[in-house]
Structure 1
Amino acid sequence: MNERIDEQHTFLRTVIDMNPSYIYAKDEDGRYSLVNLAYASLFGLSKDEMIGKTDLELRESRQSGRDIAEMDRFILRTMKGIDVEEEKFVDTSGGVRWLQTSKIPIVTDDTTLVLCVSTDITERKEHEEELAYQANHDVLTRLPNRRQFNDDLTGFLEDASGGALMLIDLDRFKYINDTLGHDFGDLLLIEVSERLEDFLRPYGANVYRLGGDEFTLLFPDCSKEDAVAIANDLLDQFRREFWIQGQEYTITPSIGISLYPQDARDAKTLMKNADTAMYYVKEKGKNSFQFFSDEMNHQFYRKMVIEKELRSALSRNELTLHYQPSWHLSTEKVCGMEALLRWTNQTLGPVSPSEFIPVAEETGLIIPIGEWVLKEACKQNVRWQRAGYPPMKVGVNVSIKQLLDESFACMVKDVLKRTGLNPDYLDLEVTESIAMYELDIMIRKLNELKEIGVSISMDDFGTGYSSLSYLKQYPLDTLKIDRSFIKGISSHEDHKAIVMSIISMAKHLQLKVTAEGVEDMGEYDFLKQTECDVIQGYAISRPLSPDDFEKHVFGKMKL
């Protein structure tokens, strides 16, 4: 009988030892009285070495040992089992394992034990942690994402007495994505993220990727003076080139800053204000930073109203064209005109083109509005020719968005056909910003227009985009010198030098030259002495309505 009992004990001990679960028991003093091989291996000990020892002796953390002992005493005191859903265990190699443990009291003839059975849930725990990490981090950059930012911003507002929120948007990132590809854009975002993390490390601040090319930074206990210094340092960080696939690239940031609690006391408004400040930077030229101000809210409200009203401007017949004469310096006669868009709204009254044209560009409304301008200018020119007035060329401004539209050349050709205007009497004015786009694309676009028979002018020349190598390849007819170089030219030697250089370069390239913004006779006389061909400006005439153009321009001509 005793032999059979011994055999059963041996069999049970073998079953316990060979069980992959961690099985162990502790007496009323917390000393191990039973451990299986799997559990002993966690400590790097044999079963015999563990028997009689306590968790205070075996655990790496004494606090952990005390917490376990307290739990075991509670089980023995109440004689109720406990399920521990997650228990962190550091093994002998320093690796972290997670255990799920069931603990129950066992009463024998001579003692009471706590019997424990633990299951290793490390893999499941790591999977859960990875899912939680993915939910709160950006997949591409591994930065905390918008969700984590919202959580941290809430805590920031609860804990900090003050601070700054900075919103960074990368300038012209969409253009980089469109021209160099999304894979390149992703590599650039990773490089930017790493540079921002390195920069912020001394500040103990976090950077978050909200999505696209937008990043946010939180600085607790940060004064306005501190924020200025940080923002300037951030701009310096972007002055260093980024190396991607063995090549150097430069990208600049627009940074909007809102201060807590000065600008807002809640997360939504604080973020909205930083966003408003960032867009203010975008509109003012990019690559800078700006603090939020109440005046910005007024400006953006007006911009919203302009956008809303502009959408109905065509259907309400609120748009008109005025025509500014061009004056040939050699013949001293009017030789052409430029069509200029005007808008008078039923709610806002007259709205400056400097206000509504950028809105039309941003919203894409420039496409239908630009087509209307072209049709109206061509129809008006045909009316004047049919009325017997001297035929002359009309200039029409073309937005870069129109030029990039694949159907633009076909639209121009169709408008000329429908209105009956000879292509010789249409000049399309593009801005110098075309140099920001792929040279081959722009050359193809301009050549498509030249094939129709129209002439092409580069407007606002001298603002810094074009190079001589570009100009030589564009199929241009005329350079129009930006008005900023003409203003006060009679008394500014540097402006004189710039204008004379542009004229000399244009003549070398066999291009005609028009000077814009000529306002007084001093400017007129200087340009007449040079080889400038044509001028525009108040010294000749303001932009005129069609009726006034007939009266004050055609009316003074010999028909």
Structure 2
Amino acid sequence: MHLNIVNNMNKKLNEQKKFLFQVIDLNPNYIYANDEIGRYTLMNKSYAKLMGMNIQDMIGKTDDDIDRDTFVEKQSDDKETDQYKLQQKVFIREESITAASGEEIWVQTVKVPINLNDSSAVLAVSTDITERKQYEDEIKFQANHDALTGLPNRRMFNEDLTNLLEKAKIESSQNAIMFLDLDRFKYINDTLGHDIGDLLLTEVSRRIEMLLKQRHNCADIYRLGGDEFTILLPYYNAEDSEAFAKELLEQFKDGFLVDGCEYFITPSIGISIFPRDGDDANTLIKNADTAMYYVKERGKNNYQLFTSEMQQHFYRKMMIEKQLRTALDNEEFELFYQPIMNVKTNEIIGMESLIRWNNEILGQVTPDEFIPIAEETGMIIPIGQWVLDTAIEQNVRWQKEVYKPFKISINVSVRQLLEPTFLESVKNSIENNSIDATYVVLEITESIAMYAESMIEKLCALKKLGINLSMDDFGTGYSSLSYLNKYPLDSLKIDKSFVIGMNRDDENKALVKTIIAIAKQLDLKVIAEGVEGEDEYHFLSEIGCDYAQGYFISRPLSVNDFKEKWLTAGD
């Protein structure tokens, strides 16, 4: 009877033990136990599989006894040094284990001390948190990286720059901060759409990344937003930075293939150097940004190291922008007129309207100074409308006063052409003033070539109104002959840089001859700007130039002076 009871108890104990091991084995967590010298006394199948071994081959052995070449365990900082002699339960927040398969597994582990008589052991239960870690890493990556290009973002840039400067102050090292902005990118977005713009940004970032990887692997590039990028150049001085900037500009000489089409775009690059240009992040960022805008105002597609003189320049720019906002309301603008002469007959056939600005605080401000600011801020739209209306109104008044009517040439910026309401505003101005549209000439610049087919459509719509179209400053911009043939143009204006001193420069003379020959092939009239001497005037006549304007004929004149010199004499 007593023996049966004992047997039943043993049977139940064995069953419980078997059940317990089944529970342990079926548990998806990794479970194992070590005695006080680190020998494995228990483990489940999940852990053995993770280690790529059989349970029998690991029981009774320490980690030193087992071949560890198949995995590497990275202990977290808060793990007990003497992990096999714990006095209380230990919670290890995270640890990374490289499994036998080579896969990195992240686990969260609880280690519990087990004390039996004079011996002790540690039971460990690890939960797989790999999926959660990957999600957290993804969230962290998204917080610190740009969604479009995958580049580190502004937040990461600020953090990395702060760390770089702290290190640089300890080491007394030089470092460069580079700001890069894509020229006229907004126009690409506006005309071709944001999808094309986004693809172009991605291609630009990939090309710069490749340059850094191949030749400047200590540098890092970031996208701040829009078309603005920054590059950190650790240990680069001014000379090193300039050399890098030249390499960077070379990367933009070839077009970018986007959606089967090739697009050309250029960067403006500003550079500040630590500690020369500032010893804190905000100052260095501001100065690099200032240098970049300095480049934009001087033709773009270049680089510039920051200088203290730029501060004065941008103070004036700020003042110009401030005063420009009230200039129309205060009637501070005036149009001057420069005659255009037929070089064969020596007769005036038209005049170009040229805006002048006299401000009470700033004095006379040249168009070269304020027009770029007006375009940048969008104020060119109301100013351009004022020029259009005023020039046409003035021409109508003169036509009523003199026998022979003249054409009036009006400069139009790309920013105006891109305005959806521009066509309608031109039409209204012509109709409201009852002028024959053939006496209106709109002068456009070669930068329209950046907008390809979309701009051709707009120009054709303008041409249908009956006005004339002239390409201004020809030879200095972006035009290709293939597009020049598609534009509905009536004339070309040779840029004054080719005309001035032409007789003393054989290269300029050859260029002028070539432009005239091209124009004749395209059945276009040719106007030469900047004619300052009699020799140039006669040479232009000999080689087939149609019209000329410049100081040799007359400087730009006010309304009264133009009427007195050119219109009264024409009666």
TM-score, with structure 2 as normaliser: 0.89
- Which deviates more from structure 2 when the two are superposed, residues 177-186 or residues 388-397? 177-186
Whether the 8 Å CA contact 1:56–1:65 is kept in 2: the answer is no
Are 1:525 and 2:525 an aligned pair?
Answer: no
Instruction: Give the Cα separation in 1 of the matches to 2:455 and 2:14.
Output: 94
Native 8 Å contact 1:516 1:536 kept in 2: yes
Distance 1:395 1:244, change over 3 A: closer
- Residue 66 of structure 1: how far off its partner (Å): 12
Cα distance between partner residues in 2 of 1:212 and 1:57: 58
Question: Could you tell me which of 72, 77, 86 is aligned with 2:83?
Answer: 72
- Tell me what 1:98 maps to: 106
CA offset at residue 324 of structure 1?
Answer: 1.4
Q: Is the 8 A contact 1:30 1:69 kept in 2?
A: no
**Offset at residue 149 of structure 1 (A):** 1.5
TM-aligned CA distance change 1:15 to 1:330, over 3 Å: closer
The 5-angstrom pairing of residues 9-408 of structure 1 reads: 9-58=17-66, 60=71, 64=75, 70-72=81-83, 75=86, 79-160=87-168, 161-178=173-190, 180-201=192-213, 202=215, 203-240=217-254, 242-244=256-258, 250-388=264-402, 390-408=404-422
Alpha-carbon contact 2:52-2:101 (below 8 Å) kept: no
d(CA) in 1 for partners of 2:73, 2:527: 86
Tell me if the contact between 2:402 and 2:567 (Cα under 8 Å) persists in the aligned partners: no
Greater CA drift, 226-235 or 313-322: 226-235
The aligned amino acid for 2:503 is S
Q: 1:389 deviation in Å?
A: 6.1
Aligned with 1:311: secondary structure? helix
The answer to whether the aligner puts 1:542 opposite 2:555 as a matched pair is yes
1:434 is the counterpart of 2:448: yes
Give me the whole-angstrom Cα distance separating, in 1, the residues matched to 2:335 and 2:234: 53
Size of the aligned set, in residue pairs, is: 554
- For residues 395-430 of structure 1, the C-alpha deviation after alignment (integer angstroms, 9 at most, x for no partner) is 211122222323222212211222233323322222
Residues 73 and 96, structure 2, Cα contact 8 Å, conserved in 1? no
1:7 counterpart = 2:18 = no
Q: Are the equivalent residues in 1 in contact too, given 2:218–2:234 (CA < 8 A)?
A: no
Contact 1:16–1:23, Cα closer than 8 Å, also in 2: yes
**For 2:111 and 2:327, how far apart are their aligned partners in 1?**
77
SS of residue in 2 equivalent to 1:274: helix
Aligned: 1:445 with 2:458: yes
Q: Is 2:88–2:112's contact at 8 Å kept on the other side of the alignment?
A: yes
Q: State the shift of 1:535 in Å.
A: 1.9
Could you tell me whether the CA contact under 8 Å between 1:56 and 1:62 is conserved in 2?
Answer: no
1:467-486 to structure 2, matched below 5 A, reads 467-486=480-499
Where do 5+ consecutive residues of structure 2 fail to align?
1-5
Give the CA deviation at 1:323.
1.3
Aligned 8 A contact 1:367 1:401 in 2: yes
Distance 1:82 1:540, change over 3 A: same
Residue pair 2:188, 2:197 contacting (<8 A) in 1 also: yes
Conservation of the 8 A alpha-carbon contact between 1:337 and 1:395? yes
* Segment of structure 1 superposing worse, 133-142 or 369-378: 133-142
Moved more, 236-245 or 326-335: 236-245
Alpha-carbon spacing, 1:377–1:154, altered in 2? closer, same or farther (3 Å)? same
The structure-2 alpha-carbon separation of the partners of 1:194 and 1:507, relative to structure 1 and needing over 3 Å to count, comes to closer
Distance in 2 (CA, whole Å) between partners of 1:550 and 1:109 is 118
Post-superposition offset of 1:180: 5.0
CA deviation vs aligned residue, 1:226-267 (integer Å, no higher than 9, x gap): 222222222333345545566655443332211111111111
Cα pair 1:486 1:516 within 8 Å, conserved:
yes
CA positional deviation for 1:146: 1.9
Deviation at 1:110, TM superposition (A): 4.2
> Residues 276 and 333 (structure 1 numbering): CA distance in 2 closer, same or farther, change over 3 Å?
same
Partner amino acid, structure 1, of 2:59: I
SS in 2 for 1:541: coil
Q: CA deviation at 1:284?
A: 2.5
How many Å separate the matches in 2 of 1:435 and 1:20?
A: 65
CA distance in structure 2 between the aligned counterparts of 1:209 and 1:307, rounded to whole angstroms: 28
Cα distance in 2, alignment partners of residues 166 and 384 from structure 1: 54
Q: Which amino acid aligns with 1:495?
A: N
Deviations 1:350-405 (A, max 9, x none): 10000111111122211111111111112222223334464322221112222232
Distance change in 2, residues 1:444/1:326 (3 Å): same
Partner letter of residue 383 of structure 1? R
Shift of residue 221, structure 1, vs aligned partner: 1.3
Contact 2:76/2:92 (8 A) holds in 1: no
Deviations 1:151-194 (A, max 9, x none): 11111011122211122233344444455554444444333333
* Structure 1 stretches lacking a partner, 5+ long: none
**1:465 equivalent in alignment to 2:478:** yes
Same amino acid, percent of matched pairs: 55
TM-score, normalised relative to structure 1: 0.91
- The residue type paired with residue 58 of structure 2 is M
Distance of 2:234 and 2:464 partners within structure 1 = 61
- Amino acid in the other structure paired with 1:72: Q
C-alpha RMSD of the superposition: 2.7
Check whether the contact 2:412–2:443 (CA below 8 A) recurs between aligned residues. yes
Q: Which residue identity is paired with 2:160?
A: D
2:494–2:528 Cα contact (<8 Å) kept: yes
Inter-partner Cα distance in structure 2 for 1:66 and 1:57: 25
Q: What corresponds to 2:3 in structure 1? A: none
Give the C-alpha shift of residue 317 in structure 1: 0.8
Quick one: distance in 1 between partners of 2:475 and 2:195?
A: 34
Matched residue type, 1:281: V
C-alpha distance in 2, partners of 1:353/1:149? 38
Q: Please, which moves more after superposition, 444-453 or 146-155?
A: 444-453
SS of equivalent residue, structure 1 residue 101: strand
Q: 503-512 or 152-161, which moves further after superposition?
A: 503-512
CA distance in 2, matches of 1:122, 1:41: 16
